[in-house]
Chain A
Amino acid sequence: MDGVSALPILELDPAVRMMCGTVLCAGVLFTDTSHPYGMIAAGGLAGVALLLHRRHHLRLLGLVTAGTVMYLPALLWSSPGIVIKGLAAALTLMGPATALAVQETSDVVVRLPLPTFLRFLLLQVLHQTGVLGRETRAIHRAIAVRGGVHGFRGIMAFGRALPATWLPRIAFRAERVALAMTVRGYGHRLPSVAAIGWTRGTACVLVCSVVLSVLAVWSSHWRGA
Chain B
Amino acid sequence: MPGAPALSVERVSMRYPSSSRAVLDACSLTVAPGERVALLGLNGSGKTSLLLAIAGLVPFEGSIAVDGVVLSRTSIDAVRGRIGFLFSNPEDQLLFPRIRDDVEYALVRDGVSGEDVRRRAGAMMEVMGIAALAEGSPYELSHGQKLRAALAGVLIHEPPLLLLDEPSGALDPPGRRSLAALLRGRPGAMLMATHDLEFARWCCTRFVQLERGRVVRDTADPEGITF
Interface pair A173/B109, CB less than 8 Å apart: no
User: Contact flags (1/0) for B76-96 with A, using CB distance below 8 Å?
Assistant: 010010010101010111011
The stretch among A64-72, A87-95, A187-195, A206-214 that forms the contact with chain B is A187-195
Q: CB < 8 Å: which of A103, A131, A179, A185 contacts B91?
A: A131
Whether A74 is near chain B, meaning CB under 8 Å from some CB there, is: no
Number of residues from B at the complex interface, CB < 8 A: 24
Residues of A within 8 A of B109 (CB): 184-185, 188-189
Interface pair A103/B106, CB less than 8 Å apart: no
Whether A219 is near chain B, meaning CB under 8 Å from some CB there, is: no
Given contacts A177-B92, A189-B105, A189-B109, contact A107 B97 (CB under 8 A): yes
Interface pair B87/A184, CB less than 8 Å apart: no
Whether A102 is near chain B, meaning CB under 8 Å from some CB there, is: yes
Whether A150 is near chain B, meaning CB under 8 Å from some CB there, is: no
Shortest Cβ distance from A185 into B: residue: B109
Residues of A within 8 A of B137 (CB): 102-103, 130
Shortest Cβ distance from B163 into A: residue: A183
Q: CB < 8 Å: which of B52, B101, B106 contacts A184?
A: B106
Interface pair A191/B77, CB less than 8 Å apart: no
What separation, in Å, do the CA atoms of A25 and B186 have in the docked complex? 54
Residues of A within 8 A of B57 (CB): 179, 182-183
What separation, in Å, do the CA atoms of A126 and B98 have in the docked complex? 13
Shortest Cβ distance from A180 into B: residue: B93
Interface pair B97/A123, CB less than 8 Å apart: yes
Residues of A within 8 A of B91 (CB): 131
B 86-128 contacts with A by CB, 8 A: 87, 89, 91-93, 95-98, 101, 105-106, 108-109
| Dominant SS among interface residues on chain A | helix
User: For A103, A131, A184, A188, which residue has the most chain B Cβ atoms within 10 angstroms?
Assistant: A184
A43 CB, nearest partner CB in chain B, Å: 35
Interface pair A185/B97, CB less than 8 Å apart: no
What separation, in Å, do the CA atoms of A134 and B89 have in the docked complex? 15
Residues of B within 8 A of A186 (CB): 95
Interface pair B139/A184, CB less than 8 Å apart: no
Interface pair A131/B139, CB less than 8 Å apart: yes
Q: A179-B52, A184-B93 are in contact. List 18 more A-B contacts (CB 8 A).
A: A102-B97, A103-B137, A106-B97, A123-B97, A127-B95, A127-B97, A131-B139, A177-B92, A179-B57, A180-B92, A180-B95, A182-B80, A183-B80, A184-B105, A185-B77, A186-B95, A189-B105, A192-B101
What are 20 A-to-B residue pairs whose CB atoms are below 8 Å? Answer: A102-B97, A102-B137, A102-B139, A103-B97, A103-B139, A106-B97, A107-B97, A124-B95, A131-B91, A176-B87, A180-B85, A180-B95, A181-B95, A182-B57, A184-B85, A184-B153, A185-B109, A189-B105, A191-B96, A191-B98
Interface residues of B (CB under 8 A from A): 52, 55, 57, 77, 80, 83, 85, 87, 89, 91-93, 95-98, 101, 105-106, 108-109, 137, 139, 153
